[in-house]
Structure 1
Amino acid sequence: MSSKVIVAENGQGRYQQQVIAGQHHLIADEPASMGGADAGPAPFDFIMSGLGACTSMTLRMYAERKELPLTRVSVELSHDKVEIDGAQRDRITRHITLEGDLSAEQRQRLLEIANKCPVHRALSQSIQLECNLLD
């Protein structure tokens, strides 16, 4: 698990960011419709990518431990805004495709496990966020 991610403007575009996560170098940007150059995923795309990856990896680990005949996992995610009690809230929807000769009970259990992945748990609970300025 990467313990530190560094994000900084890269000078290549209005909103473009260099993202360094361990040995991995990525680009983040806003889409053209938001004034960016669409040179990389937008911030919510990174959130959804993390959730999708965690979901798929968690399901793979569980299936291996339980020796389930899961041959492939695919997770499609989307983000939108919904109104709840008069306030706009973010909503992420996951559509999970499970391939393999799985029974209805195994498929249901895998759905339960998907909702226990660490990123799902973190996003569905209140996260304590701290922000400090450095000199």
Structure 2
Amino acid sequence: MEVNIHRGAGPLQHVIEIGPHTLLTDAPKSLGGEETGPEPHDLLAAALAACTAITVTMYAKRKGYDLQDIDVRIEHGQKDGAYVFTRRIRYVGSLADDEKARLTDIANKCPVHKTLSGEIRIVTEAV
């Protein structure tokens, strides 16, 4: 999958194209943006939250758990020299404590979590 970004209408707004999908990203007004879309770090947090919800839901369905809904909230920002994502997961449904614990283990194995927790290499090619 390829992600393409090009300049949008505002001074810092950019249009993100991912396959057939289009999103906007922008900066806050305090940095010269117009806040027409989420900041890049917010998109990264959203990717972690979405991956968590999808992965846990798929697992719960496969195992027959009574997971009726999942609420994933991510707080993020710089803290003590590192960028920290604090993920809070609320499971809705009639779940035993051991099922909730297993779902949390699975949340820690979602692909985005594994990517962010592993070694990341960014190769930049100017063309």
TM-score using structure 2 length: 0.97
Unaligned 5+ residue runs, structure 1? none
Aligned to 1:116: 109
Q: How does 1:9-48 map to 2 (within 5 A)?
A: 9-10=7-8, 12-48=9-45
Note the 1:2-81 alignment, pairs <5 A.
3-10=1-8, 12-81=9-78
SS of alignment partner, residue 125 of structure 2? coil
- What's the offset of the Cα at 1:33? 2.1
Q: Which amino acid aligns with 2:112?
A: V
User: TM-score scaled by structure 1?
Assistant: 0.92
Q: Which runs of 4+ in 1 moved over 3 A?
A: none
2:98 to 101, 105, 122: 105
Q: Secondary structure at the match of 2:68?
A: strand
Q: Percent identity?
A: 36
Count of aligned residue pairs for this structure pair = 127
* RMSD after superposition: 0.7
Tell me, in whole angstroms, the C-alpha distance in 2 between the residues paired with 1:60 and 1:21. Answer: 23
In structure 2, the residue corresponding to 1:48 is in which secondary structure? helix
